[in-house]
A and B are shown apart, each in its own frame.
Chain A
């Protein structure tokens, strides 16, 4: 069964950029207003002028960055990390890999599952070893520099504070990159040696599509909720007009054969013959030309893939028994899209489907290394992001606090994202904080709407304050869900660009500018020698 994290939800770059610009803009404007008010309170009428001068200085500093100075600071950081024995992490890594095979090698009847275990182990080991090292280095570098006053000898040279921040970030990123690269190579070799020859290490390249459902009457609707705790799947009722319809964007080119691959879940409402699996049928559709081409019925292979090859020339017998032939590319794919209807044929039984359960598999497959290094790139991006956050935090608080802040944002903040998303989007059952309190006090069921009136309006209006605060927090706390790409590799799948790589790159880049700016202003506004 595909895990929850493997649902290929394409990242909307434009919407992401708009969201970033809004969050960045709001925070920037609020910060400037606070700065003006504070400086006015402290210095009187010249205060706002000082803020203006500071912003002008910032513009000058950012437009006159010296690559040589940045590289000097980053290479110093790199040397410093090495001489502080950051590379000792390899010893722990080595020990882990020396003994891992004792515990991970099993006599599974399904050796293909071992790949998932090995891949999961490698990625978990790399991330759990490198992340704390990167976090500690990043969070303690600048505070330690300030404590022993080495930074004084840097900032009394023409080095600008933004160069210090960027140089530190690059230096810690470089050492983390080295560690990830070496561990990645070792991990790859280890996986290749561990996996039995009978199990192919491949990287299947899926083309995912959009999904919609028809209900049992054939009208557009939703799938059935059978009470599965995994809400990601909807169920298609067998022996009815209920269906799941996928629309796949097809790449250029016209290969002689298309491979359709699926992995559906079966849900039975009666026992029947337990040795017989559910029957499923694909139907190729061309809604514009009103063509429907049913493909041969097959039995669902539960817990593994169903593969069905479709030739360029597709033949089937129509209701009158006459054989009809269609060209896959001329008759069935229109506007670069292939539409496939999936139905369960057994009455009273259901198949559970989600958007990632069915895809067109691009042939030939890619090498396992291709997907592996893409996923390792995800780990690397996560580490870079943590380095940026750590360095930024270390510019305004001391090492221990910076570490705690970074830890909270990166580790503790992740489980909170789902909750925050629900509250912010209004999907949280039971409403916001005040509404929840009201429901608790009045013992009102959370699914019952609040009674209409002034009280409900007041509660919901007041609830917007924490809700909007949470919206800001959900933008400030990085969402790392897309960065963990090992699941794809473990399943032998390619890491999707729009579903995993693009959002991870976007989140990392999205944090870069605010982190650098916050680090810069934190350093420029603080007295390095303050007692």
Chain B
């Protein structure tokens, strides 16, 4: 992971308006965050929290009401940025009348790839996502898991530097979910930056380096997963198995029993606990949001 920001979002606000221009929904409110090269970044939040809106703003499918987005050094509306981006939409919105080969060939052509390179890349990806047996079948005959796999393959056709995954594990069975997470970790190992949105917390916890928790269109938490999961007010001491007598005396004076301390650490919540706590706090104190402190917010985490 490097200190080079791949995505910079500043004061991003998105308001949906009705036909007459009246405000309908404030989907995103003053969102600011950075994503750094080589990390797996997770956007978390319940339904309607602004995750997908953020994703679509990043891709230029929506226009911000206020604020700026820079991706790979270019504005979000610049088509040129897409050369190095791979995008897996929430649902697989691929052309259902094409088969897997035709699908990857089509998207390869959109990247202006020569025929030989498209063929090579198509073969590679079809093997990688393990749909060789179904490569000649139209996508409308695919199961949900297979559709996600071909969707992922099209997102990787250009060997992108930045991969945007919208709910990558949604609707997948445990095996499919494991496959997807392994692939994300493999992409990270290849030095690619991955941004994923999800409300499946275990998946996020498994693969993400950093996360942002959104609620009601506002940023509520931002940081490293392991940092965020630490219980800062509690100290946990782990020891060898003690005799009952020793345990009784631990409460009085731990050191007097000369026990060998194996580790002293903060106990961690599960991500699910953190998430629910954040949401509960947000509901209790509406309007309070996480504001990154200037450059600190953009500071890359220490890995």
Contact = CB atoms under 8 A, between A and B. Distances in A.
Interface of A: 57, 61, 66, 68-69, 71-73, 76, 79-80, 83-84, 148-150, 152-160, 527-531
A157 B110 contact: yes
A529 B79 CA distance: 16
A159 B111 CA distance: 8
A150 B91 contact: no
B79 A160 contact: yes
B56 interface: yes
7 tightest Cβ-Cβ pairs between the two chains A and B: A72-B109, A149-B93, A157-B110, A83-B97, A529-B61, A156-B87, A158-B82
By size class, the interface of chain B is 20 to 34
B94 interface: yes
A79 B89 contact: no
B89 A153 contact: yes
A148 B93 contact: yes
23 contacts: A61-B79, A72-B109, A76-B95, A79-B98, A80-B95, A80-B97, A83-B97, A153-B87, A153-B107, A153-B154, A156-B60, A156-B87, A157-B110, A157-B111, A158-B79, A158-B80, A158-B82, A159-B110, A527-B63, A529-B62, A530-B16, A531-B16, A531-B24
Contacts of A155: 60-61, 79
A57 B60 CA distance: 14
Interface string B70-92: 00000001011011010101010
Contacts of A71: 109
B112 interface: yes
B79 A159 contact: yes
B179 interface: no
A189 B146 CA distance: 49
A152 B90 CA distance: 11
Given A157-B110, A160-B79, 13 more contacts: A66-B112, A71-B109, A72-B109, A76-B98, A79-B102, A148-B93, A149-B89, A149-B93, A152-B59, A153-B94, A153-B107, A156-B87, A159-B82
Contact of B93 (A80, A83, A152, A527): A152
B105 to A, nearest CB: 8
Interface of B: 16, 24-25, 56, 59-63, 77, 79-80, 82-83, 85, 87, 89, 91, 93-95, 97-98, 102, 106-107, 109-112, 154, 158
Given A158-B80, A158-B83, A159-B79, A152 B61 contact: yes
Contact of A157 (B61, B62, B82, B97): B82
Contact of B94 (A66, A150, A160): A150
Given A76-B95, A153-B94, A68 B112 contact: yes
B61 to A, nearest CB: 4
Contacts, number: 79
A157 B91 contact: no
Nearest to B18: A531
Nearest to B63: A527
Given A148-B93, A156-B82, A527-B63, A76 B16 contact: no
Nearest to A153: B93
Nearest to B81: A158
Contacts of B16: 530-531
Contacts of A157: 82, 107, 110-111, 158
Nearest to A163: B110
B113 to A, nearest CB: 8
B135 to A, nearest CB: 17
Most B CB contacts (10 A, CB to CB) among A57, A69, A84, A155 go to A155
Nearest to A80: B97
Contacts of B158: 157
A156 B107 contact: no
Contacts of A531: 16, 24-25
Nearest to A67: B112
A70 to B, nearest CB: 10
A1 B94 CA distance: 57
Contacts of B111: 157-158
B106 to A, nearest CB: 6
A529 B56 contact: yes
B13 to A, nearest CB: 14
Contacts of A149: 89, 91, 93
Contacts of B93: 148-150, 152-153
Contacts of B79: 61, 155, 158-160
A25 to B, nearest CB: 28
Nearest to B84: A158
Given A76-B95, A76-B106, A156 B61 contact: yes
B89 A152 contact: yes
A155 B25 CA distance: 25
Given A61-B79, A529-B56, A69 B61 contact: no
Most B CB contacts (10 A, CB to CB) among A73, A148, A531 go to A531
